[in-house]
Every structure is written in C-alpha cells, then in structure tokens.
Chain A
Amino acid sequence: MSTTTASAESKNLIEGKTGHWEVVIGLEVHAQVLSKSKLFSGAAIAFGAEPNSQVSLVDAAMPGMLPVINGFCVEQAVRTGLGLKAQINMRSVFDRKNYFYPDLPQGYQISQFTQPIVGRGELVLDLPGGESRTVGITRLHLEQDAGKSIHDQDPQLTFIDLNRSGTALMEIVSEPDMRSAEEAAAYLKKLRSILRYLGTCDGNMDEGSLRADVNVSVRKPGAPFGTRCEIKNVNSIRFVQQAVEYEARRQIELIEEGGTVKQQTRLFDANRGETRAMRTKEEAHDYRYFPDPDLLPLELEPDFVARIKATLPELPDEKKARFMKDYGLTAYDAGVLVAERASADYFEAAAKGRDGKSAANWIMGDLFAVLNKTGVGIEQSPVSAEALGGMLDLLKDGTISGRIAKDVFVAMVETGKPAKVIVEEKGLKQITDTGPIEAAADKVIADNPKQVATYKGGNQNLIGWFVGQVMKATGGKANPGVVNEILKKKLAE
C-alpha cells in the first residue's frame, strides 16, 4: 500500500482541538462505458427509457440465461487503461460478487476481483494554485451495473427498473493519495476529462454515468492510516468536495471526543451537506467471490492492444503542455482550455497562426461568459472559432482597438455576422489618422482649462481622464495609444 512520500503538506492539514490532522482520500469511480449495448447482453443503453424496456432475458436473470461479453466494452476498458498510462493485463478473469439486493437480478454481479483487465496507472492533478501532482491509480476493472431501486414512488413499496442492469461499468480505483477535498475534486475533474477525451465515458454525473465512492480517513501526520469510511454514489464533483470536508470534520471531532471511527458505508445527504451511515445491518459483506463458470478467462491479443494504443487521441496533459510550449500560455490558461476537448479544439482553430494568448483571453473571458449566460456548450457557440480568429486579425492589424473589439464581439454573438462585416456596417474602424485625433485633443484641451492647469501643476495621472475624453469625443474609435501620445505632446507645450 502506498503512502504519500512527501511529508504532509501543511496547507492541507485540518486544525482540530488536539492539533493538526491529515485527511487521506481514495476514490473508486464507476464510469459507465460508452457503447451501444450492455456488457454481457445485447440490450440497449440509453438514459431515460420506459421502465424495463431495455432489458433482455439475460439482464432479468431468467432461468437458464448466460452472459456473452461485448468486445467493444473490452476495447473501451483497454483504451481507458492506456489513457491512464496503466498496465494492461493480457489475461484477466471475471468473478461473481454474490449478494442479495432487489436491483441485482442474478443475486450476483459479474465483476473482476483478483485479476482485473487493467493494473497500475497514474493521473496528474491540476491544482488551483497552478501546481500539478501525480497520484496513483491502483486498477481498473469491468463489471455489470445494477438496476435502479426507486424508493419514493410509494409509501410501502420500492419499484425496480432493470434498464440499467447489466450496463458495462469501469471501476477505476485510485491509490489513497489525495490529501484534501480540492485534490479529490481535481482528481475527479481530470479523470472525467480524460474519459471524455477518450470517448469511453460521457462523464455525465447528473445522469449517473459517472459516480464516485469516496473513501475518507484521518490521521495525525506521519501516523499510520486511520479507519476509513466509504461514502457511496456521490454524483457531483461539488458534492464530493463537500462530503470529504464534512466527513473529515466528523471523524476528527469523533476521535477528539474520545471515540473511534467505525468502518462503515455512508451516504452523502446533499440537502443537509452531511454524511450518514447506511441503515443496512452491521454485517460485513461476504461476497464469496469465485471465477464465473459461465465465462472463460479474457485473453487479449497484443495486436488488439497495439491498435488501440496507436489510435489514442492527444490527451489533456499532453495538449496542455503543447499549448504552453507552442502558444506561450500559462499553465492555468492552458489547463482551462484543455479541460474539454471541444474548447481545446476551438482554441487551436482560433489561435492558428495568431497570438495564442490573445485568443485564450478572448475565449476564456468574453466567449465563456456568453456561453455560461446562455447555458450553451462551446460546440453550439454563436461565434465560431474562425469568426473569432477573424476578429483577432482585425485587432492585430489595428483596424479596431481593444475597446471597440468588445462591442464587435457582442454584435457577432447577436447577429452571427463576421467581424469584418460588422466593422464596415457600423463604421467602427479605429481612427489612427492623427488629423481627427489632433482636432479632438485640441478641443478637449480648449474646453477644460481647469484640468489642464491641474495636469500642468503636476498631476500626471490626469492624462487618463484626457484620454477618456478624447475617446468619448471620437466615439471610442480612436487608437488610445496614439491619443495618449498626441495629448502628452500637446499638454507639454
């Protein structure tokens, strides 16, 4: 078992009554595989279908039914493993995990216990301060999802829908390497991003295609690991962060008051922002794992793995490094842009042959603001990357000023017209001819003797006010740099 090699980072420590505590977090993420059909049956997977309409006899565990594995789900698991720089196990085994629950029709889940398809890997956390930290991934295995139990439709009954039963899941287990709620959130964010880049999971936490079980324990720095509690099925990154914060506090308070942390499974109550113990009986689960006799061991061909490796897309970390190197972006900016492949592609299209930093600023500032406000994704952006690029060109060659560009951008969003057309139609070309600027400057100086006197009296900062006045007089179209120069010259006379 790995422990963090660096000494506990003081900024992550939590202060309790008896001193500082370190929180240790591991995440087990269940990611629904993007595929057309289920892991061991040919039924469809789609969110929101009529109850029990995407259920085959195999999924319903009818007598005599047998599993047949979906080769594409195997491919997606290998692809994910490669994306996590993990070891691919050429031979893996499916085991039955036996327990009783109404949404588990077989009375067992087909999973992988001792010999999973993917072994050790790693993932880089992008932390808020701009630093990165690499954490370990223990393993990834394939398993069946269960159906859905709906408890709130009737006071006496639980309703069971088996549509989800048998859907392929990748269970991705991290090493217990995270040391703060932020790190846990960063892990989930990066993992989700990688899965979306690979196309192996859509990462829609609100639809349940990505769920996290969060393992939390606390200890005094340098002490052995404490007893951990598992918070099951947390379905948003924000909730993961809240759950970690609450649970760490809970455990610290419990220990400081003389109690001991009981190993238990808990649920996160999003309404209250608290975790609570599940009400199942306190027996430890005995899953009686054994190799599924209806299946043979899964053997992968080297070609199969090589082909997948050869067609891996450029992943967020590599793309981020390339953006920093080729476009001179900061780690932070590059990180924001590569979080989603669509925004990274947008950036590259807009920045091609142009100033990357400028493109990045416009995208992360004005464009994202518009998209967030209208709740639209970058794929549906009213301003295309090419269009944005066109506007950047006008900025670069001085046709418009930065101030005017803001207005042009707004007009582009509203009308969908290219920047050049808008500038023409509205006559927004930047005034660089000194003639009109000189004239405007003269007028401002003439009209404001008091300010002139103050400026000449030593208040050099007032130049800003003068520039503002000239800009106003020219309808914002004057080149501010030129205005500044001319004013300075005139005021110095």
Chain B
Amino acid sequence: MFTPTTFASILPEILILILGMLVLIVEPFWKEEQRRNVGWLTAGGLLISMVISLLFGQPGAPTTTLGGMVRFDWLGFFFKILFMFAGAATALLLMDNEKVGGRGEGYLLLLASILGMNLMASSADLVMLYLAIETTSIPLYVLSGFMLADAKSTEAGFKYLLFGALTSTIMLYGFSLLFGFTGTTDIYRLAELLQSGSLSLTAAFGVLALILVGIGFKVSIVPFHFWAPDVYEGAPTPVAGFLSTASKAAGFAVLVRLFFVAFPNFAPSWTLALAILSAVTMTVGNLLALPQTNIKRLIAFSSISHAGYAMIGVVALTQLGAASVVFYLAAYILTNLLAFGIVMAFSRITGLEDLKDYAGMSRRSPWLGLMMLAAFLSLAGMPPFGGFVAKVVVFAAGIQAGYVWLVIIGILNSVIGVYYYLNAMKYVYLYRMPEQDEESHPLPLTRPYVIALAVLAIGVILIGTVFAPWFGWSNAAALNLF
C-alpha cells in the first residue's frame, strides 16, 4: 500500500537517491578542474533535502510502513536529520581534499552511506536492518581506502573492511538465531514473543552478545575498537570525521531501538554488561588518548571514550536515558565534525598532523584557534558548548537509574579528558613555531571550510546555550521507545 504516510516515511531516502543520481549525471559533464563543485551540489542538495523533510516528512504517531520494514517515528527522523546535516558538512570538507573531493565518486559514496544510515535509524525489521548496515558500511570501506596511492589510506580501507565483514557476520548469526527462536524478524514483535518464555536467559544473553559485536564495532566500544585509530589516521580526514560521528550515531540509533524495544525483559542482565562495557570503554579510550602525539589518533581515542559516555544513557534504560543518548550524539556529531574539520583545514595547508605541529596555531590564525578551542572544550564537557549539557544530562540519567558508580567513573574520566584536551590547546595557544615568525605563515581557509566550520562552531555553541529545542526533539525521539 503506497499511502502518503509511506511516502513521507522514506521521503529523506528518496531525496538522497535523487540527489545521488543527479551527482552521477552531472559529474561527467563538468571539466576535471570543476568537479570539486559537485561538493556544493551534494552539500546544498542534502540541506535542501533536510529542509523538505522537515517541512513535509515529519512523523506523527509512530507507524510501521512498507510491510513492516520501516518504522516512521521521531527517533528515526531526528537521526535522519542529523545524518543529512553531518553529510552536508562532510561534503563541504571533502571539496578541498584534492584526492577525494575532485572526483564525483566520493560524493556518491557519501550519499550512499547516508542513505544506509537513514535506513538503519528507521529499520523495524532485522532483515532490513542488516541490509541498511551493509549499505552504510560498504561505501565507507571504499571511502576510507579512497586514496589508492597512499599506503595508510589503503591500509585503513582494508582494515575497516576486514573488521566490518567479520563483525557483521557475527551479528547476522545473532539475527538468525533470534529468528530461529521466535520465528519473526520484526523488531516490534520480538519483545512479546521473547516474553512468552521461548528463550532462556542464557540463550538470550548469547544472542545479545553476538548482536552487540556488530553494533559495538559500529560505535567502536572496547573491545571492538581496535580498527578505529588506524582507520581514522589513514582515511581521508573528512571521511574519518564522518566515520567517527554519523556512523557512530547510526550504530547508537540501532542500539537504542533494538535494546529498548526488543529486549527490555532481559534488562537486568544486559544493562549490567553494557554498564561494564561503558566503564571500560571510557577508561580505555581516555587512557590511550593520553600518550598520543598524532592529532587524528588523539581524536580517535577520545571518540572511543565518548561512545562510553553516551552508553551511560542506554544503560539507564529510562526515557531520560534515551533522550540523553540522542542529545549527547547530536552535540557530539557537531563537535567532532568541527574538530576533524579543523584538523583537515590545518593539514591541507601544512601537510602535518602531529600535535607539535600545531604550535603557534592561534597566532597563525586566531579564528581557527578559537574554533579548535570551542571544539576541544566541548569534547571536554565545558560550557557554554554542547558537550557540557550533554554530559550533565547523561550523568543525570545515570544517577536517576541508580548507576552512581558508573557516573563516578564517567566523572573521573572527564577529568582525564580535560587534561589531554587542554594539553592539545597548549600547543595551539602557548607554544611558538620553532624559529619562525607565525605572522608569515598564515592559515588561509577556502570558502567551503569557512562555511562548514562556522556553521558547526555556531551549532556547538547553540546546543550548549539554547538547549531547550534540541532537548525537546531528543525527548520526542525517546518518547517513541516507550
């Protein structure tokens, strides 16, 4: 049945598909040196799709469409908007990366993975979910290894592919067991079938563990994090930014929907397991971030620890918990994209990626320095940036659910975080370029960077100050889970 609701439920996906075809059609007609303009097309198209979806695709009461494949609710919708926004920012950042941005394929792959993510966020069926995850992953494997001449990039693509293939197979095994136990792949029917007692606790725990492998890889929680630093370091920087934000958020969207909807009956067992994973993830991520000297690896490890913080909200298993996860991810996506955007802008001019190369950066470009300050302080959880409110809300959800020990671990970890984020800022603000005058080494930004970074920086501050609307949407998304 193809009703207006059905149409609205996949409106963003349809628009992205049209945009992708447009990119394919237009690109060959443009001259080689003009092809970076496909980035404008992609970013603009994604923003327009976002606006159209906001105008015409808003969900009402949650429904399931397309024969039970797609869930049409605020949870999925809010994530879709986030993915399209992140995609637009990434497209802008890609434009001046000569090896990727000069070719139309890069943008097409980006669009394909956004399409997959959108479906991940709204899948109501295990089969659909698996397809969506693969649609997301495969273009990202290619994008990570896009710079063929670069050994590190090739390594990144291959490593990501191997890890991804392995973990998604394990997850698929979990899905098939679930189907075997219950006879359905419908996420929303699983809960009642599982409740009827056809599944013992041990079996359920095993199945959950298998599924968690796949999702854990996506959101890079310990111990499924090994790929992240190498892939982030090797992949083209904007792709790394996209991997660490949108792709991670998509994993969380699945995690939240699956665990809140299908497995609440087994809650005590898996929440404890997730709580331990969350504590380990935060701690390992932060401790490994401490000795890093490469800025991309630093952000990679920090992004692992952020998955741990966000997980506190999942563990809480309350409405506030779910809302806090969504809010946390919104703040985190903007912040981390900003951080990666700055790294990209810096290394495009200097070709350098080590922390020590950032010495004197605030003198070379005061605004870039300030934006980096905003991004890192937001990651550290300082107001008036988004990270602060996000952390407080997540901790509040944790305490409400009685996980005071987990929150205390989270707090100790944020102190470690403050240390290494400020340590990085020390290079930017305090140290000088060795034996050179910063004035004569400016860091000029091209227009796509200026637009992308300014929008992201303003967004980070907006989330951190005027937080009511964002929290309202997060809450609306969370409401759909209960």
A and B pair up: no
Residues of A within 8 A of B (CB): none
Residues of B within 8 A of A (CB): none
